Amino acid sequence: MLSVCSAESHENRAASGTPDFAPSEPARESPADARLFPAPMTAKRSTPERESKSPWGTSPWQIDFTIPSQPVPASVDFAIIGGGFTGLAAAAWLGHLAPGKSVAVFEALGIGSGASGRTGGMALAETAAGDLPGLGDVLGVFQQILAKLRIDCDLALPGAWEIGRSNGMQGSPIDWKDSGRLRVVKEVPGGTLDPAKLVAGLARAAVERDAFILEHQPVTGIEWKDRPVVEVGGAHCSAGKVLLATNALSLDLTNLAGHAEPKLTLAIATEPLSAVQLGAIGLAGGNPFYTVDLPYLWGRVRRNRSVIFGAGLVDAPRSRDLTKIDIGKGKAPELFARIERRIRSLHPALEKSKFTHRWGGPILFTENWQPVFMRHPRSENAIVLGAYAGHGVALSTYLGAWSAEVLLGRRKLPHWGALQD
Ligand SMILES: Cc1cc2nc3c(=O)[nH]c(=O)nc-3n(C[C@H](O)[C@H](O)[C@H](O)COP(=O)(O)OP(=O)(O)OC[C@H]3O[C@@H](n4cnc5c(N)ncnc54)[C@H](O)[C@@H]3O)c2cc1C
């Protein structure tokens, strides 16, 4: 999803950078006995029911993975805060590259309960600000990472459609009514995946490589010593290096409060459509789409032929804390009603559409729409990664793996990842 910046940022894209990031082979550098905390003791099911009462609603994605449960370790080589695509990819890639190192992922709720389990699941190239110097081939390396970690997440890359109210292609497969005539303007690299399978696959890959994932363990503070100490409830975990991958939440921890804007973005899913309906609206080929002008609209077809559409941003009431938003209250219900009306009016084949899911998820915007990928101002031993501005499915996994290489001292941070003054 490119979000509202699309039209402008497309015009202003930097020249294409040479791909310079490719997955490295695992290093045989440390003995596997470096484990500093006990092996898993019990198992518990990591299921979407965990989020069924979420005030952000329930997405149609089903995360199916059993997380071994364990106590908070006293010390680890790498502590990762946040169990979305970014944090899980970093953990899995650390396990892949440095099998002897100890890795713990602290997740406040369940894995994927932030944007990653609530996303549209469009896999897109580049960033929300377009290509960036030295960024590399996001989609190409993303596929290599999936192959190395043996993750099947139903990735299909038929191309993504940029759609708009002017400059529509002759014979555009999409021809809808939405504040004008909405048609395909351009096809760009991209496609779709099942985000729940990506979350589960990354978590499985991390656990198989001996990382510990601790669910329902919100990090409440970090003591900024030479070796940072992560505070988790009443427990403490000293870490050689820390990755903060909390996206639009915990902005005081990441020091992004005041530097980036958190929003809840909304999505809905239709009940499964018939093949004839999908054909009539131009979506039979499975190409996801997003507008390059306003009003914004994005969407994709699921394997069961239900279509996810998204539009609309909600602020936290009187604060930056998105956990304060309840999508059943305030501005959100009217926004959902509005988007459902828009979808029913897009095309006669959608006139009688019924909707099965309404939900929201967190996204974080920087002023220039570039991701944040930088040292934490309080420590050389901590990295902050996120703020993909609604364009983070492939990118978060790609940069999560890149951050693992930075944590291991094998790769540098990109210049564009620092906050602009
Ligand atoms: C509705 C929606 C649709 C989207 N559609 C697309 C799309 O189609 N294509 C695309 O490219 N991008 C899309 N995005 C964006 C993309 O999903 C995100 O950029 C990506 O999932 C971010 O992953 P993440 O791991 O950085 O963050 P998250 O998945 O949000 O993970 C952060 C995690 O940190 C945890 N956390 C926060 N604070 C703490 C703490 N103190 N202690 C421990 N854990 C903590 C949270 O619980 C959360 O699980 C969409 C986003 C939304 C919300």
Atom number, ligand 1, closest to the C-alpha of residue 246: 34
Judge whether residue 51 has pLDDT over 60.
no
pLDDT for position 420: 81
- Cα(363) to ligand 1 centroid in Å equals 7
Probe residue for ligand 1, chosen from 106, 116, 302, 327 as the CB with the greatest number of ligand atoms within 8 Å: 116
In SS3 terms, 107-163 reads as CCCCCCCCHHHCCCCEEECCECCECCCCCCCHHHHHHHHHHHCCCCCCCECCCEEEE
- Residues in contact with ligand 1 by the CB-under-6-Å rule are 1, 81-87, 106-109, 113-116, 118-122, 124, 218-219, 245-247, 249-250, 253, 265, 267, 310, 361-363, 386, 388, 390-393, 396
Q: Which two tokens stand for residue 180?
A: 């004008």
- Cα(368) to ligand 1 centroid in Å equals 19
The span from the CA of 200 to the CA of 65, in Å, is 6
Atom number, ligand 1, closest to the C-alpha of residue 219: 42
Lowest mean pLDDT among 7-21, 291-305, 328-342: 7-21
Band (52; pLDDT cuts 50, 70, 90): low
- Cα(334) to ligand 1 centroid in Å equals 24
pLDDT in tens, 111-161: 999 999 999 999 999 999 999 999 999 999 999 999 999 999 999 999 999
pLDDT for position 16: 28
Judge whether residue 33 has pLDDT over 70.
no
Residues 6+ apart with CB under 8 A from 362: 114, 115, 247, 248, 249, 262, 263, 264, 265, 322
Section 64-72 average pLDDT: 90
Judge whether residue 58 has pLDDT over 80.
yes
pLDDT for position 68: 79
Bigger pLDDT: 42 vs 56:
56
Write phi, then psi, for 64 (nearest 5 degrees). Answer: -125, 95
- Cα(277) to ligand 1 centroid in Å equals 31
pLDDT for position 46: 44
Judge whether residue 173 has pLDDT over 90.
yes
pLDDT for position 3: 43
**CA dihedral for 270, 275, 278, 284, sign (positive or negative):** positive
Q: Which two tokens stand for residue 85?
A: 């695509």
Judge whether residue 167 has pLDDT over 50.
yes
Section 241-255 average pLDDT: 97
Atom number, ligand 1, closest to the C-alpha of residue 264: 53
Band (318; pLDDT cuts 50, 70, 90): confident
Least Cα distance to 89 among 40, 126, 142 occurs for: 142
pTM (two decimals): 0.91
- Cα(28) to ligand 1 centroid in Å equals 32
The span from the CA of 126 to the CA of 132, in Å, is 8
Atom number, ligand 1, closest to the C-alpha of residue 267: 1
pLDDT for position 15: 29
Judge whether residue 375 has pLDDT over 90.
yes
pLDDT in tens, 277-305: 999 999 999 999 999 999 999 999 999 99
pLDDT in tens, 191-241: 999 999 999 999 999 999 999 999 999 999 999 999 999 999 899 999 999
Section 363-368 average pLDDT: 96
Q: What is the chain's length?
A: 421
